Copies of this chain bind each other. A is one copy, B any other.
């Protein structure tokens, strides 16, 4: 049985579209509150019992029997996976990794040290000591995500990167292991779920890390939320989304295929088109109806388009830009004649794809920017994953006696005004005795 396609289509001045916007106003990511009690129990148990608990949960949830010595994937297994993976795929991974490295290197924050005669002010930028990357198991495996999560940490200078992934009945996907080799992961452990997050956060059964990144199911998301504070985490990702802004210089088939490429992910994926060219929505809808039967995952795509898809015609490009900023989309394609000019009106988006020859897939795999992007409107305040997420900063202050004398009045006035007179005394003592 094939799913029919029925996709919402509005003109932006239609009151029904106003209602849609009210209902779909950005509210950030969903909570994982319903699984919290179960996840909290796993976290506490792993924290208390370490490896023993990891082995039990892996038996229970993954149906795989491990012992303390088989928890880590050996160097031999990893090299074997790299040899076994199809060489055309490994070459593609290497090409992607090369381009990702080149781009991510431009994003490493730099410190500074400004030395004056009587004072030095600076900021050190120091990589985290150890980072954990979660890689989901299951049928759909995403070696590209291994590259996207690991390489920015490597480029930031993190000395040790640990990967965890649940072992399926058939073992870990060779292409995922190959991607770990290409990206330069230091250690790989076959453990997943909330138990892996706990082990990394508390150093219970696995090396303790400073940050945990990578996508996962709702148990993994809840676990990351609960260990936040003990370690750093990346954002909790919601369903993936694309917003295409297009005028009638765009090929309706190309736009439709880009919408389908988002919709094929899963039934929660969100594909939206906004155009200011009269009649263009109809053309794209017809392309969707036709092309959705050409693609392999057409049923999934038609379901997600019917549930979450949207085609909107506005009165102007300006109005389309304003709507785009309200959506603050994860992926934003601008398939229009003056894409570069329109970009100037964008305030909120995870990644922007400009022109007719930049389908989202370019950025998903090889362009260089990260495909780990803020979802659910969180591009209002969040950024693509990058090396800046794997460093931390340290302020440096050095006053000589002259600088302290010069600023003593302001410091002691403010300290005393706040009732923190020992703060003032720490300055007075030095200035007086000097």
Contacts and interface: CB of A to CB of B under 8 A. Distances in A.
A144 B398 contact: no
Contacts of A373: 395
Given A231-B28, A297-B421, A360-B426, A121 B103 contact: yes
Interface string A367-404: 11110011000111111101010001111111111011
A415 B364 contact: yes
A204 to B, nearest CB: 12
A264 interface: yes
A10 interface: no
A64 interface: no
Contacts of A423: 261, 264, 359-361, 364-365
B426 A257 contact: yes
A83 B229 CA distance: 41
- Max chain B C-beta neighbours (<10 A), residue from A261, A384, A421, A423: A423
A196 interface: no
A272 to B, nearest CB: 16
Given A251-B433, A369-B395, A397-B358, A140 B427 contact: no
A175 B417 contact: yes
Contacts of A414: 89, 92-93, 96, 143-144, 365-366
Contact of A411 (B31, B106, B142, B362): B362
A254 B419 contact: no
Interface size class of A (residues with CB under 8 A): 35 or more
Interface string A164-195: 00000000000100000000000000000000
Contacts of A41: none
Interface stretch (A14-22, A49-57, A67-75, A339-347): A339-347
Interface in A17-33: 27-29, 31
Contact of A355 (B31, B297, B399): B399
B28 A230 contact: yes
A38 to B, nearest CB: 16
A231 B381 CA distance: 7
A117 interface: no
Given A89-B414, A355-B400, A418-B140, A380 B129 contact: yes
14 contacts: A92-B410, A106-B123, A120-B354, A129-B380, A301-B422, A339-B398, A351-B396, A357-B404, A358-B397, A361-B411, A361-B426, A366-B407, A383-B394, A388-B388
Given A142-B418, A355-B400, A369-B396, 5 more contacts: A229-B378, A257-B425, A354-B397, A363-B395, A365-B410
